[in-house]
Amino acid sequence: MNKNELNNVKIVVYIAAAGMGRRMNSDINKQFIPINGRPMIQLTLEKFDELPYIDEIFLIIREGEEEMIQSILNQMELSHEIGLVVGGNERQDSIYEGIKRVPQNTEIVLTHDGARPFVQKEEIEEIICSAIKYGAATLMTPMKDTVKISEDGVWSKVTPDRSKLFAVQTPQGFKKDILLKAYQQAFDEKYYGTDDCSLVEKAGYRIKLVQGSYHNIKITTPEDLILAEVIDSKSI
């Protein structure tokens, strides 16, 4: 599909920002931690809000944080109205709460981590186009490190071929009916996956891998914040 035709496709984005972020060792939700003076979630929202072919954006938040989120939104000059969805206990519960309310005429659903504020416009476009063509797609980067598999965390059992290993990122994109079917099956079978693609794979669909950037980090630990400020400074 020509990227100029994306305006003819109904695209909805769900940004997950309901996680506790325990590894950040912070008293507040990591989404509110500033990066060079601006809340992390603001940076993430801006990346999607600036895209005219995105029809609706929903932010999945923790119960009790509505006022804090609304305060951030009120200070932003937004092109989209941001819908708020209160999430569940796990990320999968949160996304499901969101997509159960997806507008009926939606064609493509994107899911994204609120703690990945450095995704680029071109990467989002590639995911949408791949989802339209193949049904499901995710950003990824080839693994740079050698990976060991261990059953007890003490002894290495096997070293897989690094050329066949890829680190998965977000956004992930899906045709709406495929994602809804995968989530419904997962909850019927009481299955929890590590990401949305794992649910779609379990439902019998293949995932198109799209080359992403090593800058599209997920901010998880205090050390990540140091790198995040460097990446953000270069993009200003």
Give the pLDDT confidence of 110-158 residue by residue, as tens digits: 999 999 999 999 999 999 999 999 999 999 999 999 999 999 999 999 9
Q: Is 20 or 41 the better-scoring residue by pLDDT?
A: 41
- DSSP secondary-structure letter at 163? G
How, if at all, do strands 136-142 and 208-211 pair?
A: parallel
150-174 average pLDDT score: 96
Q: What angle do CA 25, 31, 37 make, to 5 degrees?
A: 95
Q: Which CATH number does 3-235 carry?
A: 3.90.550.10
Lowest mean pLDDT segment, chosen from 2-16, 73-87, 197-211:
2-16
Number of neighbouring beta carbons within 10 Å of residue 88: 17
| Helix residue spans in 75-194 (DSSP H) | 91-99, 121-134, 176-188
